[in-house]
Amino acid sequence: MTRKQVERHLTAILAADVAGYSRLMGADEEGTHAQLKAHRHDLIDRRIRKHRGRIVKTTGDGLLAVFASAVDAVRCAVEIQREMIKRNAGVPAEKRLEFRIGINIGDVIEDEGDIFGDGVNVAARLESIAAHGGISISRQVLDQIEGTLKLQFRELGRQNLKNIARPIEVFAVELDGGGSKASRILTKANLKQDIRYCKAADGVRLAFARVGDGPPLLRTAHWLGHLEYDWELPIFRGLLLELASSFSLVRYDARGNGLSDWDVGNLSLDVWVSDMETVADAAGLEKFPILALSQGCAVAIAFAIRYPERVSHLILYGGFAAGAYKSPEVTAAALEQFDAMKTLMKLGWGANEPTFRQLFTASMMPDATKEQIDAFNEAQRISASAECAVRYLDTVANFDVRDLLPQIKVPTLVMHVRNDRRVPIAASREMAAAIPGARLVTLPGRNHILLEQDPGVPIILDEIRRFLGVVPQV
């Protein structure tokens, strides 16, 4: 029996689908189908043909197309997304069809009109992490189009994509040509962010940034942080802008998320402390104050004990010395909810459907507006993989720095929201009582993640400035 010869060739692959298609169909099946059919006929299919592309496969809400070059594929995608912005201008937000597009270059197998291969799988995964109405491309695509197309790109970091063996460097295409939303927000505030990279002791690439011209202030990393997207979120953006107006604010993305490497082996308190040292060295910080939030408090405490000569002040907000698996105050019901959260993360943290992340969001900020909830759900999806989210949760749950608290020698300010739904204020009371000379400030509210409208935000800013002896700029 003669084996059929398989045709292989290098091609640019474009994958597209409709964000939130199931929800749209559930709300208005006929209207959604009619919209999609019109967009396909009047816009998408025509633009693909115009740019020498060919549709290989269609699904209910998506398609797979191949192009002669990456330049053709990206030009086509940009025209589609820009035209969709115009088409959606008069459509209510809850009824808009917004496409997500992923583009990759890869060696594909073509068989009976269909295509297969790792390159196709990568394109599909890039589409799944693209923003609504956005375009995600791989490093290979960027290398082909940079300098040829007059576009700007935002680095999204090396990401572990589902069922893809190696981490992929991902970039987002800026459709409006005016730079990222984050850069526009900073420019409006007369600020500029400088993003750089350094390597941890084990070779993991860490992204860090500095913004502002005042005295230095290092903020600990967050596993849901992102050096770019943090500025865009209508959550703690106001706090960041205020801090940057008074300090030279240094932030970094923890290993495993944001712009730092996603493909990491070691996750532990020790390695996070070591990463903080790496960033401080790369940023040229000698002796500096640390602003730590939530689980970052344990990292900052351990850092202050390991490197006492480098820390001038400690500011601990919403923190805890012992994680869920170590704290004797955690109830059986709380542990059961904690395990349920891990299950949801494993099942679909990176899915477009926010249900998988909703339990986490509700515990973090129960008083958030719908806009803030939606923004945070999306930020979670693009800031860390499901694997990293679960590993982080487990690592943090095993934190225990209670024995280090009496050894802290630097001035320490502890702050906590009185009715925090995520981390009870008792955790900060215990920290403040155990740290020599620490001052505890309690704040109104119940959101663990600070929202711009929270009454405690101006109090926090005032306390930080007074604690560090900084007069706000007028």
Which CATH number is associated with domain 198-468?
3.40.50.1820
How far is the C-alpha of 424 from the C-alpha of 418, rounded, in Å?
8
Both tokens assigned to 233: 């979120």
How far is the C-alpha of 195 from the C-alpha of 250, rounded, in Å?
10
How many helices and strands (H and E) does the chain possess?
Answer: 17, 16
Print the SS3 string covering the chain.
CCCCCCEEEEEEEEEEEECCHHHHHHHCHHHHHHHHHHHHHHHHHHHHHHCCEEEEEECCCEEEEEECCHHHHHHHHHHHHHHHHHHCCCCCHHHCCCEEEEEEEEEEEEECCEEECHHHHHHHHHHHHCCCCCEEEEHHHHHHHECCECCEEEEEEEECCCCCCCCEEEEEEECCCCCCHHHHHHHHCCCCEEEEEEECCCCCEEEEEEECCCCEEEECCCCCCCCCHHHHCCCCHHHHHHHHHHCEEEEECCCCECCCCCCCCCCCHHHHHHHHHHHHHHCCCCCEEEEEECCHHHHHHHHHHHCHHHEEEEEEECCCCECCCCCCCCCHHHHHHHHHHHHHHHHHCCCCCCHHHHHHHHHHCCCCCHHHHHHHHHHHHHHECHHHHHHHHHHHHCCECHHHHHHCCCCEEEEEECCCCCCCCHHHHHHHHHCCCCEEEEECCCCCCCCCCCCHHHHHHHHHHHHHCCCCCC
The CA angle 451-456-459, to the nearest 5 degrees, is 130
Say yes or no: domain 7-174 is CATH 3.30.365.10.
no
pTM of the entire structure? 0.77
Tokens 């953006």 map to which residue?
237
Q: What is the pLDDT along the chain (474 residues), one digit of tens a residue?
A: 455 566 677 899 999 999 888 888 888 899 899 999 999 999 999 999 999 999 998 888 899 999 999 999 999 999 999 999 999 988 887 888 999 999 999 888 877 667 778 888 899 999 988 888 999 999 999 999 988 888 888 888 777 777 777 888 899 998 876 566 777 888 888 999 988 999 999 999 899 999 999 999 999 998 778 888 888 888 888 899 999 999 999 999 999 888 888 878 889 999 999 999 999 999 999 999 999 999 999 999 999 999 999 999 999 999 999 998 998 878 888 788 778 878 877 776 666 566 667 777 888 899 999 888 888 887 777 777 778 888 888 999 999 999 999 999 999 999 999 999 889 999 999 999 999 999 999 999 999 988 989 999 999 999 999 999 987 655
CB atoms within 10 A of CB 473: 9
Sorted by where each begins, the domain ranges of the chain are: 7-174, 198-468
